[in-house]
Structure 1
Amino acid sequence: MTRVLCAGHVNWDVTLRVDSLPAPDGEAAITGQTHAGGGSASNTAVTMESLGVDSALLGSVGEDDYGRLAREELTAAGVDCSHLQRTIGETTVKYLVVDDRGEVMVLANDGVNESFRAADAPDSLLDSVDHVHLTSQRLETAEMLAERARDAGATVSFAPGRRLDERDYRSVAATADYLFLNEREAETAAEEGLLAAGDGVTVITRGEDGGEVRASSRRTHSGYDVEPVDTTGAGDAFAAGFLAAVLNGEDDDDALAVANAAGALAAKSIGARTHVSWADIEDLRE
């Protein structure tokens, strides 16, 4: 069975449903509230596991109730959490404010989600995986994990996320076989020289407008017409769908269609973690 290591953020999310996102000095009515796990690495691992890809997770949580809940939820989803570090401090909590169109505003504490290090992944773990998916994390951790993954013969993907404009990730992007970005991140990446840093494939999600693959040529997919409920984690599901398809032997065009389907299905449900089946994806594609 194909095995993937996802490395990066593991959070606990508090999602507040509101009638509208408030303007400065404004107010909105809370129409619902949920608590569940989040964080790009763990979100991706859960979706990949639901698509039949054996997934392990490298990250860090605090020795608190939120950390315990996150670990229990991930383990119940089938994710291998034996390398999820527990450290002194608070699990990162994100407060997600979601309006009735599915648009999201995020508030977060610092927490310990970047306390893990590349050394926390033993050689035996990297030798056992076919692919390493890196999400937002300390630069030095990402660089070392990418290098060690290459040495172990694994392919590498990278989804740098919102902190792309704060960290010089060019060396990691140059190592990656696949670079995942949203439209805003793609603009920043172009300005920072990340898109020219390596010879890999760049995959861009465009939300309701689908996605794009950039390699030797550009290919697009217009996506699927769904009514969004919560776009939190849709980009992580998009990356998980793409990687699951590629690792299953699909070409980049079919993988892009699968990615768009996974992202669309994620946007139809509340919360950052999405359980998707191949039957769900095929139904939407048809």
Structure 2
Amino acid sequence: MTGIAVLGSTNMDLVAYVARAPEPGETVTGREFRTVPGGKGANQAVAAARAGGNVTMIGAVGDDVYGAQLRAGLEHAGIDTDLLHTAEGPSGTAHIVVDDTGANSIVVIPGANGTVTAIGPGEMAAIAGADLLLLQLELPLSAVVEGARVAHAQGVRTILTPSPVLPLPSELLDCVDLLIPNQHEAAALTGFADPLAAARHLLSQVPAVIVTLGAKGCLYAARGGEPVLFPAPEVTAVDTTGAGDTFVGTLAVALGERRPVPEALAWASSAAALCVQRPGASASMPYRTEIDAA
């Protein structure tokens, strides 16, 4: 079983469903509200666990009711939470608006995630003992860089999702094996709106890049080879909130199983396609049997 360490955020998603998102200064009436466990780190952890990975979650929750719910949800998914610390104060929250096309906009309040500024010996040991490390940017950058350094020093394959997007220091990029931005993040990082141009630029900084393109699939590029576009399955989206994290978590399992890249990408794309057909983030993520069947 693939061992995956996730150093990342754990949030409670507060999701409002509306016909269309409000314009600045406008009020609209929604049809439904849900609280759903989320956070990019926790979402990737759940996706990887449901896809068959042996997952350890590294991060923090608050000492509020959301913190207890978030921890319980991860444990229910079979994720090791011994290194998910409890900090004083509120847990992280994400305030999400989902419209009738499935598109979403998100405001993240870090809460307890902001207390994870460094990692200790236990966290270092968990990263060193994993097959892959998954990173995002919803924790303080200092902890992300430290985790990447530990993984790189131990030969642990490191995958970074640069979200929310911010300038990436070379000390982080030097330790990343695979960078997975979406097309908007790729443009923000490089200044190139064209995903192909953005991917080629990013290859000067990391060995491999996957630019996710939503319903259009993803673009894979690695040093020494030609970029390849992999189409996504055609489905009707209900909620795209957890699609990117589903893709990354599932892909990590496939790569840990040493599947060829085309097969791994097809498997992860199938998982993301299943996810967007259901409401919610972690709640919508498919299990291994469902992905195999798809």
TM-score grouping bracket, smaller chain normalisation: over 0.9
- Which residue, 141, 145, 148 being the options, matches 2:150? 148
Contact 1:173–1:197 (8 Å) recurs in 2? no
Hey, what does 2:212 align to over in structure 1? 205
Q: Is the 8 A contact 2:128 2:150 kept in 1?
A: no
What amino acid maps onto 1:99 in structure 2? Answer: D
- Deviates most, 105-114 or 8-17: 105-114
Alignment of 1:203-282 (within 5 A): 203-215=210-222, 216-273=225-282, 274-282=284-292
CA drift at 1:148: 0.8
Secondary structure of 1:161's match? coil
What whole-Å deviation, never above 9, does each CA across 1:226-269 have from its counterpart, x for those lacking one?
A: 11111111100111122111111111111111221121111111
**Alpha-carbon distance between aligned partners in 2 of 1:223 and 1:138, rounded to the nearest angstrom:** 32
CA distance in 1, matches of 2:50, 2:89: 31
1:171–1:197 contact (8 Å) kept in structure 2: no
Identity rate, percent? 26
Q: 1:110 to 1:42 in 2, by over 3 A?
A: closer
Equivalent in the alignment of 1:170: 170
Inter-partner Cα distance in structure 2 for 1:35 and 1:101: 20
Q: Is the 8 A contact 2:178 2:206 kept in 1?
A: no
3-state DSSP class of the match of 2:239? coil
Helix, strand or coil at the partner of 1:114: helix
Match for residue 84 of structure 1?
Answer: 84
Q: How many residues align?
A: 282
Cα contact 1:130–1:154 (8 A) shared by 2: yes
CA distance in 1, matches of 2:177, 2:108: 30
Alpha-carbon spacing, 1:62–1:158, altered in 2? closer, same or farther (3 Å): same
Unaligned runs of 5+ in 2: 193-197
TM-fit CA distance, 1:8: 1.2
1:120, CA displacement in angstroms?
3.2
Supply the AA of the counterpart residue of 2:125: S
| C-alpha contact (below 8 Å) 1:83/1:121 kept by paired residues | no
- Please state how far the C-alpha of 1:41 moved relative to its aligned partner: 0.8
Q: Is the deviation greater in 168-177 or in 205-214?
A: 168-177
Q: Distance in 1 between matches of 2:114 and 2:180?
A: 20
Deviation string, structure 1 residues 133-179 (Cα, Å, up to 9, x no partner): 111122221111111112223111111212x23x4343322311111
Q: Is the 8 Å Cα contact of residues 227 and 268 (structure 1) preserved in structure 2?
A: yes
Tell me how far apart the structure 1 counterparts of residues 277 and 121 of structure 2 sit (CA, whole Å): 34
In the alignment, the residues of structure 2 paired with residue 241 and residue 15 of structure 1 have an alpha-carbon distance, to the nearest angstrom, of 24
* Alignment-derived partner of residue 160 in structure 1: 162
1:168 and 1:275 mapped to 2: Cα distance?
A: 29
Q: In structure 2, how many angstroms separate the alpha carbons of the residues matched to 1:239 and 1:127?
A: 20
- Paired with 2:20 and 2:52, the residues of 1 have a C-alpha distance of 37
Name structure 1 gaps, 5 residues minimum: none
CA distance in 2, matches of 1:197, 1:84: 34
RMSD of equivalent CA atoms: 1.8
Q: Distance in 1 between matches of 2:244 and 2:235?
A: 15
> 2:50 aligned with 1:50, yes or no?
yes
CA contact (8 A) 2:208 2:221 kept: yes
For residue 177 of structure 2, what is the amino acid of its counterpart? D
Of residues 112-121 and 198-207 in structure 1, the stretch that sits farther from structure 2 once superposed is 112-121
Instruction: Report the TM-score, using the length of structure 2 for normalisation.
Output: 0.90
Aligned equivalent of 2:186 = 186
Q: Tell me, what secondary structure is at the counterpart of 2:116?
A: coil
Q: Distance in 2 between matches of 1:169 and 1:7?
A: 18
Q: Which deviations, in whole Å up to 9, do the C-alpha atoms of 1:93-112 show, x marking residues without a partner?
A: 11111111111121333412
> How far has the Cα of 1:272 moved from its partner?
1.4
Q: 1:53-96: per-residue Cα shift (whole Å, max 9, x none)?
A: 00011111111111111001111111111101111121111111
SS at match of 1:112: helix
Consecutive aligned runs of 4 or more in structure 1 exceeding 6 Å deviation: none
Contact 2:4 2:132 in 1 (8 A): yes
Q: Output the CA distance in 2 between the equivalents of 1:43 and 1:227.
A: 21
Q: Distance in 1 between matches of 2:172 and 2:130?
A: 19
